[in-house]
Amino acid sequence: MTAIVAENVTANGHGVEISHLVKKFGRPGQEMLALDDVNLTVAPGEFVSVIGPSGCGKSTLLKVVAGLLEADGGSVTIGTDSVLEATKRKLIGLVPQAPALLPWRSVRDNVKLPLQINPAANAGRTLRDPDELLTSFGLGHALEKFPKQLSGGMQQRVAIARAFAFDPALLLMDEPFSALDEINRDQQRLGLLDFWQTHRKSVMFVTHSVPEAIVLSDRIVLMAARPGRIAEIIDVNLPRPRTEDAYASDAFRELEGYVRSRLADVMQEAAHV
């Protein structure tokens, strides 16, 4: 992984403005409110995690922002663009739960793919060289390999490198480390932290892990279920750049206790609905 180089890295990317967002599933008359009046502003270069009980709408929120699901009400603006315009202009990088690499392309060619699709949209960007990018993610030795020759953790790193390659204005990550074991997961999250602190992109990151949300984020959006909504937005006022030492600080542990107790509150509420 790259060394942590910058204390004062300029924030990059576009902000996100989510306003009165509503998303329903189901047939008319039997609808379920997956997102009920969700309002959230993500500043350019801000890292925001979304946490909450199963079924509270975290993935749905990310999918609406990514343009994979259409909203039933409200709006999402990325910079000054609608989601549709942002997807056309390739402003959004998405890292799904499973790495979704093309098995017949080498690691290098998987990372090159977003540079090759709709190249006109890449004009004026700082595109990253796939080899350099993969090397900075500790995969310099695996450029010619195929996805099946890599471990799950390495594959997920390729997927993250691929999302960074075309310099998107906004990165959306839906539990990117959930399939990994705890040791691997911790390594990957510290690697992402390191990379992000050097490049400062706007990020929306879904996770079930409280420590993961704290170590990575500037703010944590706590969601509640039935209907899916924002219960609280929690500031993470820990100094940056952060390293694994952050876990050991009193401030970290205090915040972890607070987030866990608020998570328990919303889970208890949901149990009584």
Ligand X SMILES: Nc1ncnc2c1ncn2[C@@H]1O[C@H](COP(=O)(O)OP(=O)(O)OP(=O)(O)O)[C@@H](O)[C@H]1O
Q: Is the dihedral of CA 217, 221, 225, 231 positive or negative?
A: positive
From the CB of 141, what's the least distance to ligand X, in Å?
A: 34
Task: Name the segment binding ligand X (CB under 6 A); options: 2-10, 54-62, 126-134, 260-268.
Answer: 54-62
Closest CB to ligand X among residues 54, 126: 54
Counting residues that bind ligand X (by CB under 6 A) gives 11
From the CB of 176, what's the least distance to ligand X, in Å?
A: 13
Q: Tell me which of 13, 15, 45, 57 binds ligand X, using CB under 6 A.
A: 57
From the CB of 234, what's the least distance to ligand X, in Å?
A: 17
Question: Helix, strand or coil for residue 262?
Answer: helix
From the CB of 219, what's the least distance to ligand X, in Å?
A: 18
Assign residue 86 a region (left: φ > 0; alpha: ψ between -120 and 50; beta: otherwise): alpha
Q: Tell me which of 59, 106, 110, 136 binds ligand X, using CB under 6 A.
A: 59
Q: Tell me which of 14, 58, 90, 262 binds ligand X, using CB under 6 A.
A: 58
Residues 23-52 interacting with ligand X (rule: CB under 6 A): 25, 34, 52
Say how far apart CA 24 and CA 229 lie, in whole Å. 12
Tokens linked to 230: 């924002």
Closest CB to ligand X among residues 128, 226: 226
Work out whether 96 is an interface residue with ligand X (CB under 6 A): no
Instruction: Sketch the per residue contact string, 123 through 162, with ligand X: x for CB under 6 A, - otherwise.
Output: ----------------------------------------
Task: Name the segment binding ligand X (CB under 6 A); options: 53-61, 78-86, 107-115, 195-203.
Answer: 53-61
Question: Helix, strand or coil for residue 55?
Answer: coil
**Of 53, 79, 55, whose CA–CA distance to 65 is shortest?**
79
Q: Do 87 and 64 contact (CB within 8 A), yes or no?
A: no
Question: Helix, strand or coil for residue 42?
Answer: strand
Closest CB to ligand X among residues 154, 172: 172
Tokens linked to 269: 């509420």
H-helix or E-strand spanning residue 254: helix 250-271
Work out whether 209 is an interface residue with ligand X (CB under 6 A): no
Q: Do 137 and 155 contact (CB within 8 A), yes or no?
A: no
Work out whether 176 is an interface residue with ligand X (CB under 6 A): no
Work out whether 228 is an interface residue with ligand X (CB under 6 A): yes
CA distances, 193 to each of 3, 47, 118, 123, 240 (Å)? 11, 10, 29, 28, 10
**Of 188, 185, 238, 191, whose CA–CA distance to 215 is shortest?**
238
Q: State the residues that interact with ligand X by CB under 6 A.
A: 25, 34, 52, 54-60, 228
